[in-house]
Amino acid sequence: MEKIPVRQIRTTDPQALGLCSIRRLEDILQGKELLHALHRHTFFFVLAVSEGKGVHEIDFVPFDVLPGSVFFLRPGQVHRLQLAAGSRGYLMEFDQEFYASKNQPAAQRLRKASSKNYCLPEQDRFEKLKGILSQIFEENKTRYDGYHDVMKASLEIFCIEYGRQSVHPGIVTNNNGLYTQERFEELLALLEAHISQVKQASQYADLLNLSPYQLNAITKASVGKTVAQMIDEQIILEAKRYLLATPNQVKDIAWDLGYEDVSYFIRFFKKHTGHSPDAFRKNFR
């Protein structure tokens, strides 16, 4: 069965432990418009635009690309990107192995940053983020002794600074505390990885060594939703990814998402979107 196109990192660094690529947008565009069709990555993706405009659609939510905007995507997310000629800024890609840290707080900061797909900070804040990316770019370009260490340290600083800029689009800002935030972000990662096989709230609670009551309390405190609601939303998101990014038949998509009863899947999808899968594909492609 045909899958959503998956892109890999391109790097020319033979010394790299893990993969990282950072380029200036003006070098990528070379005076032309950029158009990337729907696809997904096996890596983290950071886009910072200092000049220019366009549209960046992430998991079927469109965002206007404006001067001073920053985007941060996790592996597996589906997106398409259009940038006008003359746009300037940085595009950075890196995998988990490059960032890998035995420092648990650092790993948690990466989860926090990558859960926030879009940010439009104040100008001075954007300049700070752009400055960090500029340092990473120069280190990767000159490759002086210890440049990998400097790049990784700068990347951690970038994650800290980006995490300060905005909140997760759905999170209720009520000072939940570090523990609640960490467990919520762990749940997001589990949903992304296991939704095709795991669809019960109690199963996710078991994976997190929590009771269903505790996990529901965490999701309600974080986004005002139950675990069951989040599971349904993840199933619908994954279904939309397949419907709009592949030509696969509905019965094949249902099977790939763990549904043997295609009729049940169609009813489930229509209940949550107001459209049958075929109608959704026709209307939104």
pLDDT tens-digit readout, 127-145: 999 999 999 999 999 999 9
Q: Given a cut of 50, is residue 88 above it in pLDDT?
A: yes
Give the C-alpha distances (Å, rounded to integers) separating 108 from 11, 58, 192.
26, 22, 17
- The pLDDT value recorded for residue 24 is 97
Q: Is residue 104 classed exposed, middle or buried when 0-12, 13-18 and 19+ CB atoms within 10 A define those classes? A: exposed
Q: In what order do the strands lie in the sheet with 44-51?
A: 20-24, 88-94, 44-51, 69-73, 118-119
- Asked whether residue 200 carries a pLDDT value surpassing 90, the answer given is yes
pLDDT for the residue numbered 171: 45
Q: Which two tokens stand for residue 34?
A: 């950029």
Q: Tell how strand 34-41 and strand 61-65 pair up.
A: unpaired
Residue-wise pLDDT for 45-85, tens only, equals 999 999 999 999 998 889 999 999 999 998 888 899 999 99
* 220, pLDDT greater than 50: yes
How far is the C-alpha of 66 from the C-alpha of 171, rounded, in Å?
23
Residue 279 DSSP class:
H
Model pTM score? 0.79
What are the pLDDT digits (tens) for 239-272? 998 898 888 999 999 999 999 999 999 999 999 9
Q: Comparing 6-165 with 183-284, is the CATH topology the same?
A: no
Contact criterion met (CB below 8 Å) for 42 and 95: yes
Architecture of the domain defined by 6-165: Sandwich (2.60)
What are the structure tokens assigned to 59, written together?
A: 């998991």
The CATH number, out of the four listed (3.40.50.300, 1.10.10.60, 3.20.20.70, 3.40.50.2300), of the domain defined by the range 183-284? 1.10.10.60
Alpha-carbon gap, residue 133 to 50, rounded angstroms: 12
Domain ranges in the chain are: 6-165, 183-284
Q: What is the mean pLDDT of residues 223-237?
A: 94
- Collapsing DSSP to helix, strand or coil, 89 comes out as strand
SS3 content of the chain, % helix, strand, coil (to 5): 50, 20, 30
**What are 177-195's pLDDT values in tens digits?**
678 878 888 898 899 889 9
pLDDT band at 175 (very low <50, low <70, confident <90, very high): very low
- Give pLDDT, residue 174: 46
